[in-house]
Amino acid sequence: MVRRHNNQLPENLPQLQNLIKRDAASYHEEFMQQYQHFQNTIQVFQLSPDQTNKTLDDLVMFMAQVSHCYPKELLTLPQQLIDLLEKNSTVLNSTMRMTFCRALILLRNKNLLAPTDLLELFFKLLKCQDKALRSFLETHIITDIKNMNSKHKNAKLNTTLQNFMFTMLKDTNTRAAKMSVDIMIELYKKNVWNDAKTVNVIATGCFSKFTKVMVACMKFFLGKDTEEKDSDSDSDDEIDPKEVMMANKVNKKTRKREKQLSKVKKLASKAYKKKSAAPTFNFSALHLIHDPQGMAEKLFQQLESTNRRFEIKIITLDVISRLIGLHQLFLFSYYPYIQRFLQPHQREVTRVLQFAAQASHELVPPDVIEPILKTLANNFITERNSSDVMAIGLNAVREICSRCPLAMSEDLLRDLAMYKTYRDRSVMMAAKSLIHLFRNTRPEFLHKKDRGRPTEATQELVSLNYGQIDAKNYVPGAEVLLREDNEQVEVNSDSGSDDEEWIDIKHSSDEDGGSGEEDNGSDEVNSEDEEEGGGDVEEEENDESENNQEKRKILKAKRTKNDKASKKELAHKVTLDRILTDEDFKKIDTANIKKQVQGPKKGAKRKIEEAPLTHTERPELVKLGDIENIYKKRKHDKQTRIETVRAGQVDREKFGYKDGRMNIHCSKTNREKRKNKNFQMLRHKMQSKGKRSFKDKQIALRNHLLKLKKMK
């Protein structure tokens, strides 16, 4: 009988490994036998390193697994494997090379190997023609560095690793440089190395001589951060338009007030969504660059001097435009360069328009951007182009003017505003959006009919010139808080603002009186002239009416100016005298929203006093959808049409004849009964009423001719 061996330790390495981990001291002799066998196998393997050795493969993993049990005996194991890989890295079989790397990773996880030694080896292994190995090594490096910084960031170790990665970025090997860039980008996205040092080193990669490295670095700056939710935002921050709703309930209900209430609700919900959203940057890496002006100039110089593919030029233009718009740089040669690509037939023309809008900001002189607007008007916004091209051109003009409104001239704006009556809906809506933009920025450039219904906000709007800044020393709209305290309102109305207003009105009335006396004097002279035969009463009346209109305009302007000054004083007083709470800010926001839809009051005093409308903050980058946004109902495919038809058939009565009788038991008319009869029963009646067919005419003609023939 053959004896069974259940515990064959010399041949069963997994079982020996398990026993050693349980009790290392008891199995020290068995381990030494395997260790001696391992050394002998390595010597044999070095004679032919290109061959696969399954025994060595198993022994290497076994030694790596039990290395923490016998640290003194396996002290030289890491360096032995490193030397073996460095000497025969390109000759080794892919399976054996992967096994050695896995064993070194195990040793690194057991803290028996320094991270810098392993990184240096792994970057040397990038010369191997093994894509799976390169991907495996990159994943391990990222995971290892992330684990080292999981509990707390080791600044000293991170500095050492970063310096090594930065030197590898300048390596002559393309794969090593590309892998170092990918690792730094991935660690930045994982918030491990998200400091300015990493960002600026990646920025140096944008000028690499290797195209892959350069493109990877520039795409890094074109990425987007993930939107982070703000845990502090809650439903209490919502702007509650209770005042407008209460006024709508108490006052007489009219269509105008209902419309105004709906507008206030929409604006309040829109403001709440914008306020409750977390503050996200388009990509925070652009904010961490130390020298954005120098980087933009070098990129533009590289763009003009090199002759790379068009796709790389597009990426470079995008990075430059983001740098210019975000940091408000001055690079005047960029605009004539991009102006050459502003043609409807140009490839990726919508993205080029996006870059032109992104590179526009308020500090750029209007003379620099004005040629771009004229080029868009000449090449895009003409009737020889399609409606989509015209709409895209108008959208691009709108996005550029939203960032640099001074670049638009009055004549050009009025010409573009005339497309609001264009026959195509997409062009019409694009022109109206441009008009709406200038209603809130520079309404004096528009025709009077295009300025819309005046509101308190538009009346108090201040047009800024180039380089002018509207800095305030008070919270705009804070004067609305005085409405709660009736005594304080009365004191303020008696003390300053109203007195000045009545004084101005009295003074203006005195002016009216003075002008009236002059008019009386002139009337006496005219009466004398009439006696002499040379006067005209109608012309005098017209002159008087024109003078009265001019006086009313002057009085209105003075009154508006006094209202502005008084509101500024009240807002400044409230800002200094009290500490504003969250409730106060909500009331101020509600009042400012209401001001955008409320028309000016006709009278000496208004019920609600507002501060001038501040320009809304524009996003840092231009969305491509804002330029490609075309108001057109697209054609549906067959599946969409079928779904639309079926959706319309839900809860619909069955098609067919509908019995219109109020009582189903009453009799029907002969006409209704005829619909249920067989057609053969009604055929003779239908023939008498309808026209005869061509065949019936033939039969009748034949019978008539036969009858004539018989008569002869």
How far, CA to CA in Å, does 37 sit from each of 10, 19, 28, 32, 710? 10, 19, 14, 8, 131
Q: Superfamily for 294-441?
A: Leucine-rich Repeat Variant (1.25.10.10)
| Alpha carbons 608 and 586: distance in angstroms, whole number | 16
CA distance 666 to 664: 6
| CA–CA dist 558, 112 (Å, integer) | 84
Q: 28: number of CA atoms within 13 Å, CB side? A: 8
Q: How far apart are CA 637 and CA 642, in angstroms?
A: 9
pLDDT of residue 688: 63
Q: What is the DSSP letter of 175?
A: H
Phi, psi dihedral angles at 614 (to 5 degrees)? -90, 145
The predicted structure's pLDDT at residue 320:
95
Question: pTM of the full predicted structure?
Answer: 0.65
The separation between CA 286 and the C-alpha centre of its own chain, rounded to angstroms, equals 16
CB 47 within 8 A of CB 89: no
Q: Could you tell me where the DSSP H helices lie in 480-631?
A: 486-492, 498-532, 537-577, 582-597, 624-628
111 by DSSP, 3-state: which?
A: coil
3 state SS for 672-712 = HHHCCCCHHHHHHHHHHHCCCCHHHHHHHHHHHHHHHHHHC
Torsion on CA atoms 699, 703, 704, 706, rounded to nearest 10: 140
Distance of alpha carbon 690 from alpha carbon 708, whole angstroms: 27
Return contacts of 381-388, CB within 8 angstroms, 24+ apart.
381/416, 381/419, 385/344, 387/422, 387/424, 387/426, 387/427, 387/632, 388/426, 388/630, 388/632
Q: Can you say whether residue 347 is alpha, beta or left, with left for phi > 0 and alpha for psi between -120 and 50 degrees?
A: beta
Token pair for 203: 């920025």
Q: Pick from 468, 395, 457, 471: which is nearest to 426 by CA?
A: 395
Distance CA 687, CA 697 (A): 12
Q: Are 354 and 320 in contact (CB under 8 A)?
A: no
**What tokens does 509 get?**
């009335």
- Say which amino acid occupies 361: H
Task: Tokens for 107, please give them.
Answer: 């040793």
Q: How far apart are CA 356 and CA 397, in angstroms?
A: 10
Between CA 638 and CA 322 the distance in angstroms is 41
CB neighbour burial string for 227-248, b if at least 16 within 10 angstroms, e if fewer: eeeeeeeeeeeebebebbeeeb
**CB-CB neighbours of 496 under 10 Å:** 15
Terminal-residue alpha carbon distance, the chain: 133
CB atoms under 10 Å from CB of 322, counted, come to 23
Cα–Cα distance, 211 to 21 (Å, whole number): 50
Rounded Cα distance, 302 and 669, in Å: 90
Rounded to whole angstroms, the Cα distance separating 588 from 368 reads: 39
DSSP 432-490: HHHHHHHHTT-GGGS-GGGS-S--HHHHT-----TT-----SS-TTGGGGGGS-HHHHH
- Take residue 631 and report the two structure tokens written for it: 């108001």
Q: What is the dihedral of CA 164, 165, 171, 177, to 10 degrees?
A: 160
Structure tokens at 619: 């996003």
Please, what is the Cα angle at 202 between 201 and 208, to 5 degrees? 100
Distance in angstroms (rounded) separating the CA atoms of residues 392 and 353: 9
Q: Per-10-residue mean pLDDT for the chain, 712 residues long?
A: 52 86 89 91 88 88 91 89 87 88 90 85 82 88 86 82 85 87 90 88 91 92 55 41 64 73 77 57 76 94 90 94 93 94 92 94 92 94 92 94 90 92 91 90 86 69 73 74 54 44 39 41 42 47 61 59 67 76 78 66 41 48 83 71 83 71 83 83 71 85 91 78
CB 31 within 8 A of CB 38: no
Residue with tokens 């509600």: 590
Give the span between the Cα atoms of 626 and 350, in whole angstroms.
10
Provide the token pair at 518: 């002059």
Could you give the C-alpha distances from 692 to 683, 687, 695, in angstroms and in order?
Answer: 12, 7, 8
**Residues with Cβ within 8 Å of residue 194, at least 6 apart in sequence:** 188
Contact between 280 and 233 (Cβ < 8 Å): no
CA-to-CA distance for 62 and 41, rounded, in angstroms?
A: 14
Q: For residues 568 and 474, is the Cβ–Cβ distance under 8 A?
A: yes
**What local confidence, expressed as pLDDT, does residue 621 receive?**
81
Query: DSSP 3-state assignment of 287?
Result: helix
Measured CA distances, 510 to 114, 500, 513, 551, 555 (Å):
93, 15, 5, 12, 12
Output the CA torsion 8→9→15→17 (10° steps). Answer: -170
Question: Angle of helix 94-109 relative to helix 115-124, nearest 10 degrees?
Answer: 160
* Phi-psi domain of 385 (left: phi exceeds 0; alpha: psi -120 through 50; beta: other): beta
